[in-house]
Amino acid sequence: MYFRTLVHLLTAQKNCRKGGSFAGAVLLVGVMQISAALAQTPGLPTGPGRVNGQVLHSESGAAVPDLEVVLYALSPDGAPGLARTRSNEEGRFEFTGISTRPAITYLLGARYHGLPYPGEHIRFGAGEREATALIRVAELTSSRAALRVVGVAFQLQRVARGLRVTQQVRFHNEGARTFYQPTAQRRDPAGGRASAAAFEAVLPAGAADFEMPLGAVPEGLLRSDRKLSYFGPIHPGAHELSFSYTLAGARDENDHERFALRLASPEGAPLEVRLPPGLGQLTAPGLRLEPAPAEAAAPGPRQERWSNSAGGVFDIELLLPPGRRDPAAVRPLRARVLLRVDDTALEVNESYTLQVSGDAVLLADFAAPFFHLTLPARATALEFGSDAPGVTLEAHPDGGLIATGSAAPGLFQIGARYQLAVEQAPARFTRRFATRLPLLAIFLTDSGDLLPASKRLHRRRPLREAERNYQHLEAFEITPDEVVELVIGRRAPPAAARGPLSLAAAALLALGAVVFLSSPLRSRAAGIAAEPVRSATAREAEALARAEGDLDHDLETGKLSVQDHAALLSELRAQARALQEREQQEVRRAETAARTIERSEDARSCARCDARLEAAHRFCPNCGAKRAQEASPG
């Protein structure tokens, strides 16, 4: 139950991001209920982060002092954390020493006049250590003058026990105060008198399994038999109230299930009915079937939409074809696993294609599900879903996930995404599959240095998709409870990586040439010439040629893309040209130095007969002339 509640919290987070403060209030209530239920509420995950903010009055903008503020951390693995503080005389508050991991979502809230007010969602970005948020609270009003119901939607979904109906009511509070009717001012919803509720609804006869998001019933929602009355709180802005229930249908002689529903939209608000295509035969007088949206504009499972923009009361009838319960009619065809590994974690994205045989809708419940998806015990940051509108994934007490609900004949997919910590190298991906799998395909995001090894999986041709390279491994006929292991090691730097090393070696050779050429030069016979430089250049040219050959080889074998090959080759040649230019400059400097020395040597000859003079000679040994530099003036 605790796990399922956390899953609801994750769903509610997505609703809050769309801007609905009502969803945030419900989420905050759920957080407080979970925290109160824990024997020992854990603290926030620690780190260098800081959250500061201020509590302000939404109507006057004034600071609100001495108010309890709650910060709740929801980690990817579902582990909760909670901390409390109070606002100071300026309405400011602060939480310090908390984790800045981007995967952690922080929920902020406070209570004012006993009602929850959610603040902003907080997620630290890469490198961020501080976040600032505001919490706005409001005074209360019992007047409904500023309230409007702006839409009512009914979602119909087939389940094993019949039809699941989810009703969503969208409000807009155009005032600056929170609508709320205290208990003493509420009128008995069963007394037959006019009610001061913001919204009322009557559940169909036989409605069962009543539920609200997070399993948290707002304090202002009263249920008397089949009647619901909602007395708030409704904060300023847009809000949504949602609840669901299950109906059992009446079966006819052909084993069809028939459901009759009366749907109502108050105050003339638009009404909409949503159901999966092919769910059944819907008779809906007064409602219009909307055109199917373009696939690109309709993410998620496709839905039929019937609507009436003027609202009102509508009697509809739904006829469902015969359903059957036969878990053996579901056969897994293949599993596709996408892996991405770094030094600390292995990201896993699994999808399973299941086939429903026969010609009737298949029904499954918790006791006899469509499929049991086992998961590693250390999996964190779990997300899951299905592309079939009638299929639901939920946690199994023995671990993993099970698929229940209704599925039409044909194919559908379920999937799960999670992370595994890499505790030591090499990384290992180990999976046990509870059922037979005809095909298991694993795609490993290739960073260029990964070396996967497996006794069960065999290599296939590498794949390039969406600007990424993948190593492809496959296994056929995985038996029930078989364990498949993939060890992901790292190879030595590929040949292409030796190009920069060759350039570094060339730089060292060039440096040696510079030192050699700039050393004191004694004579022409000392060999001051470009030959040593030309030899170094020749050796480096050979190294560069080998590096280019390695790049071409990696391109041919699929280790490098065409774009990466071109970029590396261009860089290699540019650095080689720069090196050659530097070496030519040093040769020119060396030649200039040699000519200077030659001129200096010429100054040691006899000015009369050009005979060579030694350092000790003061007179020319050939003609007897006095050494020019020592001759007296005149």
Give the model's pLDDT for residue 434: 85
Residue-averaged pLDDT of the chain: 77
Alpha-carbon distance 110 to 93, whole Å? Answer: 11
Top-ranked range on mean pLDDT: pick from 34-48, 86-100, 483-497: 86-100
Q: Is the peptide bond before 291 cis (omega within 30 degrees of 0)?
A: no
Euclidean distance between CA atoms 113 and 291, whole angstroms: 47
Q: How confident is the model at residue 456 (pLDDT cuts 50, 70, 90)?
A: very high
Residue 208's closest CA among 248, 148, 181?
Answer: 248
| Polymer length in residues for the chain | 634
Contacts of residue 47, Cβ cutoff 8 Å, sequence gap at least 6 = 97, 98, 99, 100, 101
Per-residue pLDDT, 116: 87
H or E stretch including 136?
strand 130-137
| Architecture of the structural domain at 147-290+302-321 | Sandwich (2.60)
**pLDDT at site 556:** 56
Q: Cis omega (within 30 of 0) on the bond before 233?
A: yes
d(CA 154, CA 303): 12
pLDDT at 146 over 80: yes
**Residue that wins the pLDDT comparison between 538 and 66:** 66
505: which residues sit within 8 A by CB, 6+ positions away?
540, 543
Could you report the per-residue pLDDT of 23-75, keeping only the tens digit for each?
444 555 555 544 444 445 578 889 999 999 999 998 889 999 999 999 988 87
Tokens of 595: 């000519």
User: Which residue type does 173 have?
Assistant: N
Has residue 495 got a pLDDT over 70? no
Task: Name the class of domain 2-137.
Answer: mainly beta
pLDDT of residue 528 exceeding 70, the answer is no
Distance from chain centroid for Cα 142 = 43
> Residue 136 is encoded by which pair of tokens?
């706005």
Comparing 11 with 255, the larger pLDDT belongs to 255
| pLDDT, tens only, 555-602 | 555 555 666 666 666 666 766 666 667 667 766 666 666 555 554 544
pLDDT for 602 = 47
371 near 402, Cβ under 8 Å?
Answer: yes
pLDDT at 625: 73
Quote the pLDDT of residue 80.
73
* Mean pLDDT, residues 231-236 taken together: 91
Q: Give residue limits of the domains in the chain.
A: 2-137, 147-290+302-321, 329-490, 495-602, 606-634
Task: Name the pTM for this structure.
Answer: 0.60
In a 13 Å sphere around the CA of 38, the CA atoms on its Cβ side amount to 15
Range of weakest confidence among 107-116, 356-365, 604-613: 604-613
Q: How far apart, in whole angstroms, are the C-alpha atoms of residue 223 and residue 154?
A: 19
Residue 21 pLDDT: 43
Q: Would you say 160 and 237 are in contact if contact means Cβ atoms under 8 Å apart?
A: no
130 versus 267: the higher-pLDDT residue is 130
Mean pLDDT across 151-169: 91
Is it the case that residue 525 has pLDDT exceeding 60?
A: no
Please check whether residue 491 is in contact with residue 449, taking contact to mean a CB–CB distance below 8 angstroms: yes
For 329-490, give the CATH class. mainly beta
Q: What is the DSSP letter of 396?
A: -
User: What share of the chain has pLDDT > 90, as a percent?
Assistant: 31
Type and span of the H or E element at 117:
strand 115-118
- 297 DSSP 8-state letter: G
> Quick one: CA dihedral 497, 499, 504, 508, positive or negative?
positive
Of 177-181, 399-403, 490-494, the one with minimum mean pLDDT is 490-494
Judge whether residue 133 has pLDDT over 80: yes
Instruction: Say which residues have a Cβ less than 8 Å from residue 308's Cβ, sequence separation at least 6.
Output: 265, 270, 271, 286, 287, 288, 314
383-398: pLDDT as tens digits: 888 888 788 888 888 7
Q: Do the domains spanning 147-290+302-321 and 329-490 agree at the CATH topology level?
A: yes
